[in-house]
């Protein structure tokens, strides 16, 4: 078969799968919730797409009984914690987050013992058990606000050291104890990659996710969450942008800004876990109602409080452990 025919078949196959998903969604009263790093074809079928914070809110707001979460495990888990009456499905059960796996409950308990007066802020990229052990959660779009809202001077920030270090630079009045965790995808982006991309695209702006290394963040014109990147690209007068985060972002950035150019500083910015979800797996998930993500009631209740404190942070100015 020629490459052209193969491509045509692939497009027809994907259209067929999308039709199946539309039909199944109606029959099941399901909503497809999609993170910005997902494959283009998954973003195309989204009822809602966004950053981690927006997805947590969307999961609460939707009237659907079933949530098909196209993202990674901790995202579906947060949706399940906040919506215990809804069925939350993760189409590929192996879609995990290596960063979330870089901390365990015993090691966090040990750290809490060492710093008994510190408040624990956990990045949403963490397990339900870690959330249950923490005082408040945060995402990359509200981490600064969350940390500022805490009365304690000392804060144990887990598990992302790069986000924690960035927050420390923005909130110098706090004493932030960092955890040795990182996102392997963002870590692949080096200072040299950015310098080279800036040379190749003179006049462009470099937007970076706070999970990037500090040397990379130093070169950024703007640092923000994935949702913040859409906002910034829309508002900026620049015509070209270098995007310092996972490549899935290019889909919506290009769609929303047809008159602007977007590029990745390196092709290595691919999160293998995010790319596990395909249209075929979404069909399978809706047909067989798999893989349900559930949290035990004891863990759920404490993790829910941690997430809800984060959601209320703009209304509630102070939290004391």
Residue 36 lies near ligand 13P (rule: CB under 6 A): yes
Q: If you ran DSSP here, which 8-state letter would residue 2 be given? A: -
Short-list 178, 208, 204, 203, CA closest to 191: 208
Q: Shortest gap between Cβ of 195 and ligand 13P (angstroms)?
A: 23
Residue 226 is a binding residue for ligand 13P (CB under 6 A): yes
- Per rule CB under 6 A, is residue 149 in the interface with ligand 13P? no
Sketch the per residue contact string, 100 through 129, with ligand 13P: x for CB under 6 A, - otherwise.
Answer: -------------------------x----
Element at 223 (helix H, strand E)? strand 222-223
For residue 94, count other CB atoms closer than 10 A to its CB: 10
3-class DSSP assignment, residue 242: strand
Determine which residue in the list 62, 127, 142, 225 makes contact with ligand 13P, applying CB under 6 A: 225
Q: In the complex, what is the shortest distance from the CB of residue 136 to ligand 13P, in angstroms, rounded to a whole number?
A: 16
- Taking alpha carbons only, the member of 271, 312, 309, 291 closest to residue 131 is 309
Output the smallest distance, CB 228 to ligand 13P, in A. 7
Single out the segment in contact with ligand 13P by CB under 6 A; choices: 24-32, 79-87, 137-145, 195-203: 137-145
Instruction: Choose, by CB under 6 A, the member of 183, 243, 299, 307 that binds ligand 13P.
Output: 183
Query: Which window, 114-122, 139-147, 215-223, 299-307, contacts ligand 13P (CB under 6 A)?
Result: 139-147
CB 241, CB 220: distance < 8 Å = no
Q: DSSP 3-state assignment of 81? A: helix
Structural tokens at position 46: 């989204």
Nearest Cα residue to 293 out of 285, 302, 284? 285
Q: Of 134-142, 262-270, 275-283, 293-301, which part binds ligand 13P (CB under 6 A)? A: 134-142
CA pair distance 315, 309, nearest whole angstrom: 10
Does position 52 bind ligand 13P by CB under 6 A? yes
* Diameter of the chain measured on Cα atoms: 67
Geometric angle at alpha carbon 284, from 8 and 94, rounded to 5°: 105
Question: Which of residues 17 and 146 has its CB atom nearest to ligand 13P in the complex?
Answer: 146
- Least separation in angstroms between residue 235's CB and ligand 13P is 17
Give kind and range of the element (H or E) at residue 193: helix 191-200
211 binds ligand 13P (CB under 6 A): yes
* Minimal distance, residue 74 CB to ligand 13P, in Å: 8
H/E run at residue 13:
helix 3-28
From 140, 149, 152, 162, residue interacting with ligand 13P (rule: CB under 6 A): 140
Q: How near is the Cβ of 155 to ligand 13P at its closest, in Å? A: 19
Instruction: Please choose, out of 22-30, 136-144, 149-157, 188-196, the segment that lies near ligand 13P by the rule CB under 6 A.
Output: 136-144
Q: Which is nearer to ligand 13P, 45 or 229 (CB)?
A: 229
Contact yes or no for 134/122 (Cβ under 8 A): yes
Nearest to 175 by CA among 154, 151, 149, 150: 154
Among 38, 43, 139, 306, binds ligand 13P (CB under 6 A): 139
Residues at the contact surface with ligand 13P, assessed by CB under 6 A? 36, 51-52, 125, 139-141, 183, 211, 225-226
């Amino acid at each position: 078969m020629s490459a052209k025919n193969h491509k045509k078949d692939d497009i027809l196959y994907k259209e067929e799968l999308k039709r199946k998903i539309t039909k199944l969604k109606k029959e099941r009263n399901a909503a497809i919730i999609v993170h910005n790093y997902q494959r283009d074809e998954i973003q195309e079928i989204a009822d809602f797409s966004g950053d981690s914070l927006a997805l947590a809110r969307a999961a609460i707001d939707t009237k659907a009984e079933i949530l098909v979460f196209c993202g990674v495990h901790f995202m579906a888990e947060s949706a399940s914690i906040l919506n215990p009456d809804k069925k939350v499905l993760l189409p590929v059960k192996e879609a995990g987050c290596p960063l979330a796996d870089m901390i365990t409950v015993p090691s966090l308990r040990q750290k809490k013992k060492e710093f008994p007066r510190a408040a624990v802020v956990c990045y949403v990229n963490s397990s339900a058990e870690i959330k249950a052990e923490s005082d408040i959660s945060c995402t990359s779009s509200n981490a600064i606000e969350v940390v500022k809202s805490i009365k304690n001077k000392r804060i144990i920030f887990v598990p992302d050291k790069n986000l924690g270090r960035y927050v420390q630079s923005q909130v110098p009045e706090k004493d932030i104890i960092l955890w040795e965790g990182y996102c392997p995808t963002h870590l692949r982006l080096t200072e040299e990659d950015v310098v080279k991309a800036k040379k190749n695209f003179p006049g462009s702006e470099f937007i970076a996710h706070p999970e990037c290394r500090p040397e990379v963040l130093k070169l950024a014109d703007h640092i923000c969450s994935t949702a913040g990147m859409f906002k910034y690209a829309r508002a900026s007068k620049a015509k070209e942008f270098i995007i310092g985060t996972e490549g899935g972002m290019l889909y919506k950035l290009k769609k929303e800004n047809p008159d602007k150019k977007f590029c990745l500083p390196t092709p290595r910015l691919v999160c293998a876990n995010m790319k596990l979800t395909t249209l075929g797996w979404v069909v399978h998930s809706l047909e067989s109602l798999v893989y349900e993500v559930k949290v035990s009631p004891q863990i759920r209740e404490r993790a829910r409080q941690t997430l809800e404190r984060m959601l209320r942070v703009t209304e509630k100015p102070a939290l004391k452990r």
